[in-house]
Structure 1
Amino acid sequence: MPEYRRVLLDGAALQTVRDGDELVAGDGRRVAVRSARHLPPVVPTKVIAVHLNHRSRVEEFGIPLPGTPTYFHKPVSALNSHGGAVVRPEGCAWLNYEGEVAIVIGRTARNIPPSLAGDYIAGYTIANDFGLHDFRDTDAGSMLRVKGSDTLCPIGPGLVTDWDFRGKRLRTRVNGKVVQDGSTDEMTWDMHYLVADIARTITLCPGDVLLSGTPANSRPVRPGDVVEVEVEGLGRLTNHVVTGPTPVRSDVGAQPTESEEVRSTALGGDWEFRGIRPPRR
Structure 2
Amino acid sequence: MKHAIVAAGGAVHQASATDDGRVQLPDGRTFTETEVTWLSPVEPRTIFALGLNYADHASELSFQAPKEPLAFLKGPNTLIGHNASTKRPEEVELMHYECELGVVIGKEAKDVAKENAYEYVKGYTVANDYAIRDYLENYYRPNLRVKNRDTCTPIGPWLVDRDDIKDPMNLSIRTQINGKTVQEGSTKDMIFDVSDLIAYFSSFMTLNENDIILTGTPKGTTGVHPGDEVITEIESIGSLRNYIASDQTFQKA
Given the two structures, how large is their TM-score scaled by the length of structure 1? 0.83
Contact 1:157-1:236 at 8 Å conserved across structures:
yes
SS of structure 2 residue aligned to 1:185: helix
Kindly tell me the number of residue pairs found equivalent between the two proteins.
246
1:53-84 Cα distance to aligned partner (Å, 9 max, x none) = 11211221232212111101111101111111
SS of structure 2 residue aligned to 1:166: coil
- Taking the aligned partners of 2:148 and 2:189, their CA distance within structure 1 comes to 26
**1:139–1:217: structure 2 CA closer, same or farther, 3 Å change rule?**
closer
User: Where does structure 1 lack aligned partners over 5 or more consecutive residues?
Assistant: 248-281
Compute the RMSD of aligned alpha carbons: 1.8
Summarize the alignment of residues 1-281 of structure 1 with structure 2, pairs less than 5 Å apart: 2-19=1-18, 20-137=20-137, 141-161=141-161, 162=163, 163=165, 164-245=167-248
Contact 1:114-1:193 at 8 Å conserved across structures:
yes
**1:140–1:54: structure 2 CA closer, same or farther, 3 Å change rule?**
closer
Contact 2:137-2:143 at 8 Å conserved across structures:
no
SS of structure 2 residue aligned to 1:167: coil
Given the two structures, how large is their TM-score scaled by the length of structure 2? 0.92
Superposition deviation, residue 137 in structure 1:
4.2
- Taking the aligned partners of 1:205 and 1:69, their CA distance within structure 2 comes to 19
The list of structure 1 runs, each at least 4 consecutive aligned residues, that deviate by more than 3 angstroms after superposition, is 137-140
**1:44–1:191: structure 2 CA closer, same or farther, 3 Å change rule?**
same
User: Where does structure 2 lack aligned partners over 5 or more consecutive residues?
Assistant: none
Contact 1:92-1:134 at 8 Å conserved across structures:
yes
Instruction: Give the number of the structure whose alpha-carbon radius of gyration is greater.
Output: 1
- Taking the aligned partners of 2:50 and 2:140, their CA distance within structure 1 comes to 14
Which stretch of the first structure deviates more once superposed, 206-215 or 142-151? 142-151
**1:109–1:62: structure 2 CA closer, same or farther, 3 Å change rule?**
same
Contact 1:132-1:146 at 8 Å conserved across structures:
yes
SS of structure 2 residue aligned to 1:6: strand
Superposition deviation, residue 130 in structure 1:
0.1
Which stretch of the first structure deviates more once superposed, 3-12 or 137-146? 137-146
Superposition deviation, residue 246 in structure 1:
9.2
**1:246–1:225: structure 2 CA closer, same or farther, 3 Å change rule?**
closer
- Taking the aligned partners of 2:150 and 2:34, their CA distance within structure 1 comes to 25
- Taking the aligned partners of 1:139 and 1:188, their CA distance within structure 2 comes to 15
Contact 1:139-1:146 at 8 Å conserved across structures:
no
SS of structure 1 residue aligned to 2:199: helix
- Taking the aligned partners of 1:61 and 1:239, their CA distance within structure 2 comes to 25
SS of structure 2 residue aligned to 1:198: helix
Partner amino acid for 1:130? Y
**1:196–1:31: structure 2 CA closer, same or farther, 3 Å change rule?**
same
SS of structure 1 residue aligned to 2:110: coil
Contact 1:79-1:153 at 8 Å conserved across structures:
yes
Partner amino acid for 1:179? V
What percentage of residue pairs aligned between the two structures are identical? 35
- Taking the aligned partners of 1:129 and 1:140, their CA distance within structure 2 comes to 17
**1:232–1:138: structure 2 CA closer, same or farther, 3 Å change rule?**
closer
- Taking the aligned partners of 2:192 and 2:136, their CA distance within structure 1 comes to 25
Superposition deviation, residue 36 in structure 1:
2.2
- Taking the aligned partners of 1:199 and 1:133, their CA distance within structure 2 comes to 30
SS of structure 2 residue aligned to 1:90: coil
